[in-house]
Amino acid sequence: MTHRAALPILICGLIAFAAPAGGQQVNLPYQVPDREGNMWYVHQQAYLQQQGNMPVYGQAGMLQINNANVQSRTQNGKLDPVTGELILENMAAPNGLKLSRRFLFNKDDNYVRVIDIISNPTAKDVTAQLSLVSNSNYGMQSGQVIADPRKKSQNYAFVGLTGNNNRAMVELFNGLGTKNPLTIDYNQGNNQVRATMPLSVPAGKEVAIMHVHMPAASVDAGTEWIKKVKDAQLIKNVPAAIRRILLNFGSSTSWFGDTELLRGDVFDVVELRSGDQFRGTIKADSFKLQTFYGPIELPAQKVLGVLNVGAVRPRQLLVTADADVFGGVIQLEKLPLELSDGQTVEIPMGQISRIGFRKRPGEPDELTQTHPFIRMRSGERIAIKPPTKDIVLHTRYGILNLKPESVAAVVFQNEEHAGHEVHLTEGSRLIGLVDATTMEFALAGSEQVIKFPTSSAARLQLKLEGDEGSPAPDPQSPTLRLNNDELMVGALEGKLRLDTAFTTLSLDAGSIKSLERRPEAPQDLKVTLWDETSFQGMLDDQMLSCKLLSGPTVSVPVSLLQEYLQPLPKPSSGMTEKIKALVAELDADDWQRRQRAQEDLVSIGEAVIPVLKEIRATQPPEAQERIDQVLEAVKKSVK
């Protein structure tokens, strides 16, 4: 079915297709011509296809959840009256989810931007595997994924050389440096590229994924476009409510909590509480802010935006280019703004809702916090210099003096626990109370010291992996999980006496592979040793000594034990001596003896790993080389 072509209009730098106010209803399949004489089709099952004069795409951006396609058929959609996007709403998706898709046909750059909004109307959280699949209409001669220049460990786009006159298929799946990337999979010789991600949608919430599909004249042209296009350009006219829930494209310079920051392209912007906006040049050189932790003065060139919050006693939040957020009262009655015609107006601060500075040359599209920071309960986030004194934590296991370099984060405001939650760099998670009624830190950018009550702090972040996240334990690290949600990353120490049904056993804690509580007999434990020997019994001593990898030794009541796992337990003393004897043979004069000893070590399996790692440094060069080969072979066999 042919539809009347919509007129293109320029919206925020993108060519989109206009629609009448209120959103024009359209029937499916919906057709839009591209600039090369082909036709884009959006079908009833919400997938995208090209037809016409040798189109590049067979299908583009087909969405699957747990490898199942969206089964819902919809007969019509509507055109967004502002952006011109084609919107398909409220389609049934696998796992009880709902799907809405938004298609923007950009005729200027000849791409289609698709935004998938996945909502969970159920009362339970839903986890699933999300996939996006595109395939070439004329096969794929070769393809390459493009590494994210901000995070070399992940990819963000794909360019494939098709059999269609050497034209290329260009797929953009992630924003630069995103924390929630789709993983791009392509096998040479295949005509299909797939991007996947584990999806988690909380009960009653929704998330969004954005992806872009474009035919290009050549691989070089497609690659050049990928490297040149900016995230800000792609998401600029995405509705604010959707930008906030995008998983795979960042917009951290645009949001503070649930409030969007104003940013201007050419002029500074001042928005009044009435909704009126003035554009021009703010004529303030700096902002003096009175805070509850002391006066702060910020140069205007470092400020991205200002939010006026609070109705009874208004205060301001200043967001800086260093990803800091300072809160207080600006010591300024009126803000001077020079309008584009040259006249200057002075706007009372009490009437201002938001202030946004224009984007400066060289300013990154996404804010990155590069210093440790403290986040206040009132919303401020302030970059600080690392503390130099130990963090003293009162726990049920006693007082722990934690070195600052061993602490990843301290969560003061916790909905699940009454105490403070401390995350250590090796992955431990401890609950207690920080021994400080007030805290004192030097600001990262100056020598100024701020002092505030500990009760006003929400989070202290000292390690920046994952921004406000916390490090996960290494899979090869021993872990002790407790039934109060605490996690200790470290190994048990000392000797344990276990009363079994017929005898009492003396066990070396280092040789224990696992300890787990028996649900039917809470006082008894199931013990598994390094050689998979297992038995049950009750410990004589009801305290376990756990040496954390970060340093402290903690005495833990057995009654709190949920599970202890040691991926690399030490073998018995007899086996240890056998391993050491074989290691001595690795430097024998006879090559066959060296080779036989290496093969014997590999045959022993995982038990050799902790012993070899312990003694490797003291061995001669060839023995060290063979030890490395043994370790690599054992690890491969375990996988």
pLDDT at 46: 86
Q: Reduced to 3 states, what is the DSSP secondary structure of residue 201? A: strand
For residues 280-312, b (16+ Cβ closer than 10 Å) or e, as one string? bebebeebebebebeebebeeebbbbbbbbeee
Indicate whether this model's pTM tops 0.85.
no
pLDDT band at 312 (very low <50, low <70, confident <90, very high): low
Q: Is the pLDDT of residue 532 over 70?
A: yes
Tokens of 145: 């994924």
The residues, any chain, with a CB within 8 Å of residue 144's CB and separated by 6 or more, are 158, 159, 160, 219
d(CA 18, CA 345): 36
Pick from 97, 132, 105, 129: nearest CA to 50: 105
The residues, any chain, with a CB within 8 Å of residue 217's CB and separated by 6 or more, are 167, 168
Q: Is the pLDDT of residue 333 over 70?
A: yes
- From residue 51, how far is each of 25, 32, 38, 216, 244 by CA, in Å? 23, 10, 6, 16, 34
d(CA 91, CA 431): 44
Across the range 184-211, mean pLDDT stands at: 94
pLDDT at 400: 94
Across the range 166-183, mean pLDDT stands at: 92
pLDDT at 515: 94
d(CA 526, CA 517): 6
Pick from 10-14, 38-42, 263-267, 406-410: least confident: 10-14
User: What percentage of the chain has pLDDT greater than the value 90?
Assistant: 54
Kindly report the three-state secondary structure assignment for every residue of 512-530. Answer: EEEEEEECCEEEEEEEEEC
Please name the helix (run of DSSP H) or strand (run of DSSP E) that holds residue 553, with its range, or none. strand 553-557
pLDDT band at 545 (very low <50, low <70, confident <90, very high): very high
Pick from 67-81, 82-96, 360-374: least confident: 360-374
Q: Is the pLDDT of residue 1 over 50?
A: no
Across the range 498-524, mean pLDDT stands at: 87
Q: Is the pLDDT of residue 313 over 80?
A: no
Quick one: CA dihedral 543, 545, 546, 551, positive or negative? positive
Contacts 24+ apart (CB under 8 A), 600-605: 601/630, 602/630, 602/633, 602/634, 602/637, 604/575, 604/579, 605/634, 605/637, 605/638
pLDDT at 369: 74
Pick from 268, 275, 262: nearest CA to 339: 268
Per DSSP, the residues of 290-310 read: EETTEEEEEEGGGEEEEEEE-
Tokens of 309: 């919050």
Beta bridge partners of 294: 291
Across the range 623-632, mean pLDDT stands at: 91
Q: Is the pLDDT of residue 75 over 60?
A: yes
Contact 112, 125 (CB under 8 A): no
Peptide bond before 29: cis, by omega within 30 degrees of 0?
yes
d(CA 421, CA 546): 19
Beta bridge partners of 112: 105, 213
Contact 284, 275 (CB under 8 A): no
Q: Reduced to 3 states, what is the DSSP secondary structure of residue 95? A: helix
Across the range 419-441, mean pLDDT stands at: 93
Highest mean pLDDT among 99-103, 350-354, 582-586: 99-103
- From residue 240, how far is each of 155, 225, 551, 608 by CA, in Å? 26, 26, 46, 57
DSSP secondary structure code for residue 246 in this structure? B
pLDDT at 13: 31
Q: Report the amino acid identity of residue 205.
A: K
DSSP secondary structure code for residue 88 in this structure? E
DSSP secondary structure code for residue 581 in this structure? H
Q: Is the pLDDT of residue 260 over 70?
A: no
d(CA 64, CA 55): 23
pLDDT band at 294 (very low <50, low <70, confident <90, very high): confident
Q: Is the pLDDT of residue 59 over 60?
A: yes
pLDDT at 15: 34
Q: Is the pLDDT of residue 20 over 70?
A: no
Kindly report the three-state secondary structure assignment for every residue of 383-419. Answer: EECCCCCCEEEEECCEEEEECHHHEEEEECCCCCCCC
pLDDT at 255: 54
For residues 579-595, b (16+ Cβ closer than 10 Å) or e, as one string? beebbebbbeeeeeebe
Q: Reduced to 3 states, what is the DSSP secondary structure of residue 266? A: coil
pLDDT at 254: 55
pLDDT at 215: 95
Quick one: CA dihedral 571, 577, 578, 584, positive or negative? positive
pLDDT band at 366 (very low <50, low <70, confident <90, very high): low
pLDDT at 402: 95
Across the range 205-217, mean pLDDT stands at: 95
